Amino acid sequence: MSNFAFGTYRVSDLNPQHIEALKEAIEAGITMIDTSSNYMDGGAERAIALAFREFDDKKKKSIEIVSKFGYIQGSTRQRHDNEPFEEVVNFSDSCYHSISKSFLKDQLTHSLSRLEVEKIDCYLIHNPEYYLLDAINRDVDEDERLDEMFRRIYEAFVGLEQEVKNGRISSYGISSNSFSKAQHEKDFLPYEDLSVLASNAAEEVGNENDSFTTVELPINLLERKGLKCAAWAKKNGLRVLANRPLNAQHEELMFRLAEYDESSEYYHHLNELLEVCDNDMLRSVYNLVEQLDANKHKFGWIGDYEAFLYAEIIPHMKKTLDTVDEKNKETMFNFIDIFLQEYRKMVAYECSKTTKLQIKEFLKGCDASMQECALRFLMKKNDIDYILVGMRKPSYVHQIMALKD
């Protein structure tokens, strides 16, 4: 049966609840924490360090930390703008990426500092397929782009073997969304020769054996193509970490495989906000809130709403509130903030109802909640060693660990 690991994708050192959840998980028996240099611009790694300060060395040594490198975002992007890193893929305005040896060395140094450790247990190349995606966009020939992809991975493996030799990491691997693609898809990342690359890299560095131990990829109730990669990995002595267990892509749509309760406070705060905005100055906010209420059931999944929130809702409300005096602006902000919190709960509730109907065929034979069905599906897979679950609240930790028990 698979074990659960603590995923820190949206964990921040600025949120005390996240720190408490990490501590609860460690005390409850979690033995692996998965993170990355780019999660919350390093905040996830700093949060782990803060949680670890509460435990003695014996307990800390029982927890394996898995971190990653590859993304150039946030403060790292600012550094790149001033002094460019090597072999950078400019995939989009918001996504720069590199797996060069020099970038690996730089990112590992920063991760060790943020985590307050001298060695990271396992260090992963994070989604190297961004080179493939960029090459596809540039119409690079398939053989040529794959040759270059494997050259870059090999050079990264050499760098990782050197870091093993230097004692800064214990092992390494690759985390790739493209491991879960069908073999005929253009951005599929072939994995069957990776062990050979690792062996050659170890030989070049002078290590007796390679330290390539781990693959991480999306596998969930709806996305099962990655099970083929998982089976290959186990046959080759590698361990498998399954990520995105509750966020699934299926037929070009995203689904959140979890059920949420309807907000009992929503309509109170909706009417309260509408009453406050029922005047000429705030008419645009009034109209927006009415539209939001009427369309709360139309979001495909909660991620669609969150994208809409930051792209449309917040800028619109900010523009209107800029015309209000400071005293009333603060009051209005409080009304809007409470409403949006409850509105998100309603969107999640509506999305979960729709999702349950859309994926009912996948849920046959399981009478539990969607999230329990989805996690139990993975727990039964012998080729999966760890299921990475985001547990940003102590209550989430207790729910997940109860499944293990």
On whether both 372 and 301 belong to a single domain, the answer is no
What are the tens digits of pLDDT across the range 375-392?
999 999 999 999 999 999
Region of poorest pLDDT, from 153-157, 186-190, 316-320: 316-320
Question: Would the pLDDT of 2 be above 80?
Answer: no
Contact 132, 149 (CB under 8 A): yes
Looking at the structure, tell me whether residues 369 and 354 fall in a common domain: no
- 170 located within any domain: yes
* Distance (Å, whole) CA 39 – CA 42: 6
The letter for the amino acid at 290 is E
Please write the tens of the pLDDT for every residue from 63-90: 999 999 999 999 999 999 999 999 999 9
- How would residue 1 be classed by pLDDT, with cut points 50, 70 and 90? low
259 lies in a domain? no
Indicate the average pLDDT of the chain.
95
Give the count of beta carbons closer than 10 Å to the beta carbon of residue 38: 23
Contact indicator for 24, 397 with CB cutoff of 8 Å: yes
Enclosing domain of residue 297? 266-358
Give the mean pLDDT of 34-39: 97
Residue 322 lies in a domain: yes
User: How is 49-81 classified by DSSP, letter by letter?
Assistant: HHHHTTS-HHHHHTSEEEEEE-EE-HHHHHHHH
Query: Full-prediction pTM beyond 0.85?
Result: yes
Residue 284 sits in the same domain as residue 234: no
pLDDT digits (tens, 9 = 90+) for 260-305: 999 999 999 999 999 999 998 899 999 999 999 999 999 989 999 9
Give residue-wise pLDDT tens across range 348-375. 999 999 999 999 999 999 999 999 999 9
Q: Taking every pair of C-alpha atoms in the chain, what is the biggest distance, in angstroms? A: 76
Structure tokens at 180: 């879960």
The predicted-structure confidence for 81-119, as pLDDT tens digits, reads as follows: 999 999 999 988 888 999 999 999 999 999 999 999 999
Q: Assess whether 7 and 123 both reside in one domain.
A: yes
What span, in angstroms and rounded, lies between the C-alpha atoms of 39 and 50?
15
Whole-Å CA distances, 399 to 2, 25, 45, 392: 16, 11, 24, 12
Domain count, the chain: 2
User: Residues 42-52: what's their mean pLDDT?
Assistant: 98
Residues 305 and 395 in one domain: no
- In tens, the pLDDT along 224-236 reads 999 999 999 999 9
Average pLDDT over residues 219-223: 97
pLDDT band at 327 (very low <50, low <70, confident <90, very high): confident
Query: What distance in Å separates the CA atoms of residue 328 and residue 59, rounded to the nearest whole number?
Result: 51
Place of tokens 């435990």: 55
Tell the burial category of 56 from Cβ atoms under 10 Å away from its Cβ (0-12, 13-18, 19+): exposed
Assess whether 389 and 321 both reside in one domain: no
Pair 11, 152 in one domain: yes
Give me the amino acid identity at 142: E
Among 44-53, 196-205, 312-321, the least confident range: 312-321
> Is residue 212 domain-shared with residue 347, that is, in the same domain?
no
Whether 56 and 182 share a structural domain: yes
Q: Which residue has the higher pLDDT, 344 or 252?
A: 344
In this structure, the answer to whether residues 306 and 216 fall within a common structural domain is no
Judgement on whether residues 351 and 301 belong to the same structural domain of the protein: yes
Tell me the average pLDDT across 192-218: 98
Closest CA to 99 of 60, 169, 157: 157
Count other Cβ atoms within 10 Å, centred on residue 237: 9
